[in-house]
């Protein structure tokens, strides 16, 4: 007899008939723990809007959204979801914070001015900064970095907190080949070993085709 231990499907994100303005209508989708999802579609198709609706950065106008089997209205644990926004490189260049400080914001939900991240968390942060080659520039002002360096810092920030879901809106724009490869490999490892759920908006499905198990095609409602 074989063990049947984890036969239960754990739904992490569920959308039922979600609509928003004239951009999205009756979007339904299920994302389960451990899924590696690609979201594709044309410019202006509504991909970024969809992610913002999931993250409650925009308020849906119709339909239902559940996160970790909880209606979105009642869901509080947004720290379980890491997010790298599409335009995260276009940060105000005068923003007065160093790379290190920005990455530390990844722990913001549990640390305050008076508490510190644990030794283990700091080690993981060092490991990620090393991997993304930003250790040497960690004391630089975020605004003084190149676009690609800044994007790598934003990805590190989303990962330090070890989220259960990572939502990435074209995170590779402006990142060089080497760093992209590091990123794809790390995501693959986290997806396979930790069951990290990955949601990746991309215009380059070819690069991800061996990693993803679901693809959603989003296109604006034609009116
Ligand atoms: N808050 C808003 N209110 C009204 N329209 C909006 C709003 N935000 C975005 N839009 C419009 O909604 C459409 C979808 O935009 P969105 O950014 O979601 O597309 P996208 O699929 O992410 O495109 P891209 O591949 O270029 O990133 C666009 O026509 C955009 O102008
Ligand atoms: Mg977009």
Model pLDDT for residues 47-103, shown as the tens digit of each residue:
999 999 999 999 999 999 999 999 999 999 999 999 999 977 666 667 788 999 889
Report the pLDDT value the prediction gives residue 208, as an integer from 0 to 100: 94
Nearest to 47 by CA among 197, 163, 199, 157: 199
44 lines ligand 1 (CB under 6 A): yes
Q: Would you say residue 206 lies in a domain?
A: no
Q: What are phi and psi of 118, to 5 degrees?
A: -75, 165
Task: Locate the ligand 1 atom nearest the alpha carbon of residue 42 and give its number.
Answer: 25
Distance 2 CA to ligand 1 centre (A): 49
Q: Would you say residue 62 lies in a domain?
A: no
Nearest to 217 by CA among 58, 70, 27: 27
49 lines ligand 1 (CB under 6 A): yes
Domain that holds residue 142: 90-162
Q: Which residues of the chain have pLDDT under 70?
A: 1-7, 89-93, 109-117, 221-223
Mutate to test the pocket of ligand 1, among 22, 25, 42, 45 (most ligand atoms within 8 A of CB): 45
202 lines ligand 1 (CB under 6 A): no
Q: Would you say residue 98 lies in a domain?
A: yes
Report the pLDDT value the prediction gives residue 146, as an integer from 0 to 100: 87
Query: How many domains is the chain built from?
Result: 1
Q: Would you say residue 20 lies in a domain?
A: no
**Sheet containing 165-169: which strands, arranged edge to edge?**
81-84, 165-169, 197-201, 36-40, 214-217
Do the Cβ atoms of 187 and 196 come closer than 8 Å? Answer: yes
Q: Would you say residue 184 lies in a domain?
A: no
Q: Would you say residue 140 lies in a domain?
A: yes
Strand, coil or helix: what is 205?
helix
Report the pLDDT value the prediction gives residue 93, as an integer from 0 to 100: 67
pTM here? Answer: 0.90
21 lines ligand 1 (CB under 6 A): yes
Report the pLDDT value the prediction gives residue 119, as an integer from 0 to 100: 85
Q: Would you say residue 117 lies in a domain?
A: yes
Q: Would you say residue 141 lies in a domain?
A: yes
What residues have CB less than 8 Å from 164, skipping those under 6 apart? Answer: 12, 33, 80, 81, 196, 197
């Amino acid at each position: 007899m074989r063990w049947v231990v984890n036969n239960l499907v754990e739904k992490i994100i569920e959308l039922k008939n979600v609509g928003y303005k004239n951009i999205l209508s009756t979007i339904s989708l299920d994302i389960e723990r451990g899924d590696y999802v690609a979201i594709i579609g044309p410019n202006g198709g509504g991909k970024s809007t969809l992610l913002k609706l999931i993250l409650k950065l925009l308020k849906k106008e119709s339909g239902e959204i559940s996160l970790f089997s909880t209606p979105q209205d009642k869901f509080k644990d947004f720290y379980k979801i890491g997010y790298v926004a599409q335009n995260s490189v276009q940060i105000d260049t005068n923003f007065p914070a160093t790379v290190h400080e920005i990455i530390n914001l990844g722990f913001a939900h549990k640390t305050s001015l008076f508490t510190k991240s644990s030794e283990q968390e700091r080690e993981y942060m060092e490991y990620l900064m090393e991997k993304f080659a930003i250790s040497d520039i960690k004391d630089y002002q975020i605004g003084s970095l190149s676009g690609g360096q800044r994007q790598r810092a934003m990805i590190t920030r989303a990962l330090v907190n070890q989220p259960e879901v990572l939502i990435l809106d074209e995170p590779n724009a402006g990142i060089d080949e080497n760093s992209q490869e590091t990123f794809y490999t790390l995501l693959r490892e986290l997806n396979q070993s930790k069951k990290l759920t990955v949601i990746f908006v991309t215009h380059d499905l070819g690069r991800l085709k061996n990693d993803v198990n679901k693809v959603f095609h989003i296109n604006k409602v034609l009116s």
